[in-house]
Structure 1
Amino acid sequence: MGKFTLKLSVLFVLFYNLSFAQNQTTSSERPSTLAELLSLNDAPIKCGLPAFAHLLHINKDRKDEILAQTSRSTLPHSYVTPSGRFRLHYTLTGVNKIPAEITNNAGVPDWVYEAGLAAEHAHALLVDTLGFSPPPADNNIDGPEYDIYFKNLSLYYGLTYPDEIGGKAHPYLEVENDFSEGFFTEGLDAVRVTVAHEYFHAVHFAYAIRLDEFDEIFFYEMSSTWFEDRAYDEINDYYGYLSYFFNNPELPPFELPERVSPVDTRIYAIAIFFKYWFKNRDDIGLTRMWDNFRNMRGLEALETEINAQGKTFASALAEFYGWCLYTGFRAEPEKYFEEGGNYPMIKVIDTLQITQRSAVSAKTNALSAQYVKLNLTEGMVFTSIIENGPADGRIAVAGEKITGKLWDLSSGTSFKLGSSFNEGGALMAIVNGKIPQSQGQPYDTDDLRVVLNIKETDDDVTKFSLAPNPFKPGGAVETVAINYEAPNSGPVEIKIFSETGRLVWKKDTSNLFVETWSGRDLDGNFVPSGVYFVVVPEKNKNGSKVLKLAVVR
């Protein structure tokens, strides 16, 4: 991990309120150039693509005029990389001049030479290693190569233009000409990560040009931000965009940008979701996500790949928000974020003293989380379970050690902290994993109610039990409680078999220690009297535990 120096004292603030732009301005008052729009912010932007898409979005009646402003620059010098794949355009004079130092054998400025190496490196990783399709053809504009132009962008690192919207793209890149000051990363390192970031956007245009679907821009940006760090792990420019996310976990990081800002730092920070997902998985999975994105929404493309890997999106999201507890001095790079020690600490909205059975209710936006600190009586057994909320509601919880560090993470719809691990506290993320059902649908805010309980003992008899037993389906007690101890992350499967071995009921659940059964089989009918075998997961073991249940009709 390389050293990262933050040059700005604070992260840039949200610079433009789109609802104001759309509802309180006339067509003539709206920003009509990219520079005009970006000038509303007082700090550099990682990528100009979201602002460019926003510009098209709020000027639908002037789209042709906007596109006419994106013509390629004419610069006096160019350099073609040895592979013949890239042509880099530059000048040594005027407002767009680049640093002139030459120390390489090609005889061109290092600024250009190193950018060419970065472009070749990005292509090799994306196309040869990860299996992405190359960008659409350049259409022989300024030569057959892919073009990179160095310009005095000032307000943003770089931008990839598709050269056509709604049809076939002929992408080209613009990159800041000197990165002299005011950027989170400067000099040649800034060139390297920007070229990697923007070239991935060019590759994206081989899959989908969805700039008119403004709520899909997050998928472009989280992918490119993740990739620039995949290409140059030692540079870590993305650190500069994390604070807004960690300080505002209650705001959905995948949220429609137009509801908040045309350029929102969360769409860069959420790249760490891929840091979570690909830590223990092959990152070629991102290629499959982009294959999905050809015909799906971004969130649907994510969900499809996550489901293919045997996990629900809600469970993955809860686990991700749980990982966000392990940053700063709590970081455990072997288990969680590899660079988590350099990440901000997550914001906790409340601290609760738990001395008896109680509950916490949190209004939680879809795809976001609320974090609470729980103070517990040391040495007692603590449990929590979601009582009410959306089906995709989850909790991610970790017991807190006396040192302030955390025990291993547990995520699901319930949690249990044994007495030997209770050193007086726990941290909980209450997560709403609901995905909006259609493009443009507002993100819901749901009430999640979590019941908290603390007791003195937790013997093995109560860990694995059925109550009542015998059980009379349809009687005064409507369900039998199945108590068990599952591994630290869901979902898990519970099955019930008859004496003859016939499967009568099963359920995939994210509840980690209790589930209920009504006595009905898979067809919805009450089962007959007899002995039934309930198969439940067993914590820290590969096998399962079988509990015997008597059913009386």
Structure 2
Amino acid sequence: MNPRVFKRIIATIWKKNCGNNLAFWACQLECHFGKRINSSCKFMANKCLKWLTIWFALVTATVLGDQSSLQQVLQSDYQSGSISHAEFIAYQLMACRNHDELPVRYQKLPRPISRMGTALMMEARSLLDTSFGRDKEMLQKVLYRPDNLPLAQTSPAGLFKIHYTDEGENAAADTFITQCALAYDQVYDTIINGLGFDPPPIDDPLEPEYDVYIYSVGGYGMSTPESPALGEKYPHGYTSYISMDNEFTITYTKGVDGMLVTAAHEFFHMVQLGFRCFTTSEIDARWLFEGTATWMEDYAYEEINDYLQYLPHYMTNLNKSFHTFNGLHEYGACIFYHMLETKYGAEIIKTLWTEFATKGLWEALDSALGQYGSSFKSELADHMVWNYFTGMRAAPELYYPEGAMYPLVQADQIYEIEETLGFSDKTAFLSAHYIEITPTTFGNLLITPALQSPTHWLHSVIKDPVTGQARTIRSAGNASVLLSDVSASQDICLIPTNVHMPANGDTHTEEIYSIHLSLGQVIGMTAGIRNIHPNPFQPAAQSSGLAIDIRLTEKTREINYHIIDEAGRVVHSHSDRFDSARNGDFAFIWDGTNDDGEIVGSGIYLIFIDAGQSIKPGKIAVIH
């Protein structure tokens, strides 16, 4: 057996039998020890040590979680009917706000560090109007503002009022409060003045400052939706206030840095709630609230990288629905918004939230991305490709700028192919599988999906050479893909991605896919342009460029691309040359410039391809 395949199989077995975090750590060790010892050894060792620290923290949290944490006991009591839904939510919030108010049987249980306070507050708000008696009283109690913080400091810009105390377990130092006040002014400037978001609605015109309450919350912080923002710009908006920890001694990122990213995260929650509260959406959108707020942390304070703690879980659970909300997944999904920022600029997050203010969740995502010539389905498929290029495969100039710090995605399945191969599996809506294929000989590889619901699927095929840039080919539904001259020296990764957006927000239903592969000479294929995307093309807005996917049935050593304007002039030419003749599927990326490096004007252009065989020209619409 090919030793590279054997290594992958061992990693997969380890992943399936020893836990996701161990598989991730094994991958990082391979990243280090699989390299020759050279001048980069120290860098690799430091990177592995950093990720070992993250892994150890997560394993420690898991071990503590096994010792009957408060969350686990409450979950068990709720499922058994011992406590109501309102009690289940209220007790979790009591653990954050006033631990002594919990029933005695819960007070001694360890409290896990959680960032779900905002989501719990939203859920408490959603239950309030339909609750009665003791349930309603408990919810009102946890939704009320803290009344045991007698001191207050207004931020230098006069935008925030920081409430605190200097006594007891909730005490905060004066210097910390001053730093908080400065931080909130800073994130306001970044989000409102820098990115152009609308300020959150004011809760009291007579005291217009945004309120931040500092006390021991057992984690980072949380934002509480309070009242509908009547008469404001967005019909579903809410006023809100922030609660934040007074010390940041037990969080992943500690001290002032922990406070800074929390200020960015929680103030962005206030901004989000000004657009709408999740309770006003037909589909649970808490994952969108948390994912974009976690993205905002890194946008505001790029050097802190608190979000890295969530990636070991996220990158080993890409077969779960993208919109899963479980206290971890939605935070790791922040890298989807990192991808959007890299491709289209940070302004796309504002566009997304502006659309979501008045539209349904899936409609808003498509509407926002449509303004950039894309769609949510297309971006999710791209996201799964970007996730492949992390860890030792990172290409920061093409994909995630900080991708070298991300865990390496492990294959869900590994196969060798001699002549033919067929397999089936299933994955959830809005999720993907990573399947590594290693040919045992040279040949052309034909990949043919067989799907019951073709419109639910997009496929990506990554052909990763020993040297040089990897090539990614996209297809949809049951469309086949032909790779020419593959060999055992190449990594081939298939990424079937389910892009169905369920109307009810379903995260559990799985759909079956089947794929057939054939290695050898392939006949009956037609040469030509398979796809031009995005089309129309906006060079300034779509920095990833325009992709021209072609198929060649006859082997050639050279492909020449010529882009012609409406006057018949060649504005841009490009050539791909190969050491040996080859056929199959190829892609050319055009950035919208002419041969002098200048952006071409709006209009209709033709793409002519000279590869020694007849290929019909394609049309490109360029708009500005």
Give the aligned partner of residue 191 of structure 2.
Answer: 126
Distance 1:170 1:410 in 2: 46
Give the aligned partner of residue 309 of structure 2.
Answer: 240
Give the aligned partner of residue 443 of structure 2.
Answer: 380
| 1:395 counterpart = 2:459 | yes
1:34–1:55 Cα contact (<8 Å) kept:
no
Q: Structure 1 residues 232, 338: closer, same or farther in 2, change over 3 A?
A: same
Give the aligned partner of residue 112 of structure 2.
Answer: 43
Give the aligned partner of residue 150 of structure 2.
Answer: 76
User: What is the CA-CA distance between 1:327 and the residue it aligns to?
Assistant: 1.0
Distance 1:179 1:147 in 2: 19
Give the aligned partner of residue 484 of structure 1.
Answer: 528
Quick one: which amino acid aligns to residue 419 of structure 1? D
User: TM-score with structure 2 length normalisation?
Assistant: 0.67
Q: Structure 1 residues 196, 36: closer, same or farther in 2, change over 3 A?
A: same
Give the aligned partner of residue 271 of structure 2.
Answer: 203
Give the aligned partner of residue 112 of structure 1.
Answer: 177
User: What is the CA-CA distance between 1:125 and the residue it aligns to?
Assistant: 1.8
Distance 1:290 1:346 in 2: 30
Q: Structure 1 residues 84, 492: closer, same or farther in 2, change over 3 A?
A: closer
Equivalences for residues 51-450 of structure 1 within 5 A: 51-55=120-124, 60-61=130-131, 62-63=135-136, 65-74=138-147, 75-98=149-172, 100=173, 109-140=174-205, 143-154=207-218, 156-164=219-227, 169-181=238-250, 183-211=251-279, 213=281, 215-255=284-324, 257=325, 261=326, 264-377=327-440, 379-390=442-453, 391-402=455-466, 407-413=470-476, 414-419=480-485, 423-437=489-503, 439-441=504-506, 444-450=509-515
User: What is the CA-CA distance between 1:233 and the residue it aligns to?
Assistant: 0.5
| 1:25 counterpart = 2:81 | yes
Partner secondary structure for residue 190 of structure 1? helix
1:490–1:512 Cα contact (<8 Å) kept:
no
Q: Structure 1 residues 35, 209: closer, same or farther in 2, change over 3 A?
A: closer
Which of 429, 441, 455 does residue 520 from structure 2 map onto?
455
Distance 1:84 1:541 in 2: 50
Distance 2:73 2:279 in 1: 19
Distance 1:451 1:236 in 2: 41
Distance 2:413 2:78 in 1: 36
Greater share of helix: 2
Partner secondary structure for residue 166 of structure 2? coil
Q: What is the root-mean-square deviation of aligned Cα atoms in Å? A: 3.6
User: What is the CA-CA distance between 1:440 and the residue it aligns to?
Assistant: 4.6
User: What is the CA-CA distance between 1:16 and the residue it aligns to?
Assistant: 5.4
- C-alpha deviations, 1:434-462, integer Å up to 9, x for none? 0012x455654212222222226x8xxx7
Q: Structure 1 residues 199, 10: closer, same or farther in 2, change over 3 A?
A: same
1:412–1:511 Cα contact (<8 Å) kept:
no
Unaligned runs of 5+ in 2: 1-45, 66-70, 97-105, 231-236, 537-546, 554-584, 591-606, 618-624
Quick one: which amino acid aligns to residue 126 of structure 1? I
* Range with greater deviation from structure 2 (394-403 or 120-129): 394-403
Distance 1:339 1:352 in 2: 30
Q: Structure 1 residues 63, 201: closer, same or farther in 2, change over 3 A?
A: farther
1:56–1:63 Cα contact (<8 Å) kept:
no
User: What is the CA-CA distance between 1:162 and the residue it aligns to?
Assistant: 1.7
User: What is the CA-CA distance between 1:65 and the residue it aligns to?
Assistant: 3.8
User: TM-score with structure 1 length normalisation?
Assistant: 0.75
Q: Structure 1 residues 17, 43: closer, same or farther in 2, change over 3 A?
A: closer
Partner secondary structure for residue 285 of structure 2? helix
Give the aligned partner of residue 557 of structure 2.
Answer: none
Quick one: which amino acid aligns to residue 137 of structure 1? I
User: What is the CA-CA distance between 1:44 and the residue it aligns to?
Assistant: 1.2
- Which structure carries more relative contact order (alpha carbon 8 Å, separation 6+)? 1
User: What is the CA-CA distance between 1:381 and the residue it aligns to?
Assistant: 2.6
User: What is the CA-CA distance between 1:27 and the residue it aligns to?
Assistant: 4.7
User: What is the CA-CA distance between 1:541 and the residue it aligns to?
Assistant: 7.0
Distance 2:217 2:182 in 1: 21
2:339–2:399 Cα contact (<8 Å) kept:
yes
Distance 1:84 1:337 in 2: 37
- C-alpha deviations, 1:206-262, integer Å up to 9, x for none? 11022365711111111101111100010011111111111111111213x3xxx4x
Distance 1:97 1:251 in 2: 41
User: What is the CA-CA distance between 1:152 and the residue it aligns to?
Assistant: 0.3
Distance 2:196 2:60 in 1: 35
Distance 2:95 2:360 in 1: 27
- C-alpha deviations, 1:181-216, integer Å up to 9, x for none? 2x1100000000001000001111211022365711
User: What is the CA-CA distance between 1:333 and the residue it aligns to?
Assistant: 0.8
- C-alpha deviations, 1:289-339, integer Å up to 9, x for none? 111111223333222222232223222211110111111111111111111
Q: Structure 1 residues 367, 19: closer, same or farther in 2, change over 3 A?
A: farther
User: What is the CA-CA distance between 1:285 and the residue it aligns to?
Assistant: 1.4
Give the aligned partner of residue 476 of structure 1.
Answer: none
User: What is the CA-CA distance between 1:150 and the residue it aligns to?
Assistant: 0.8
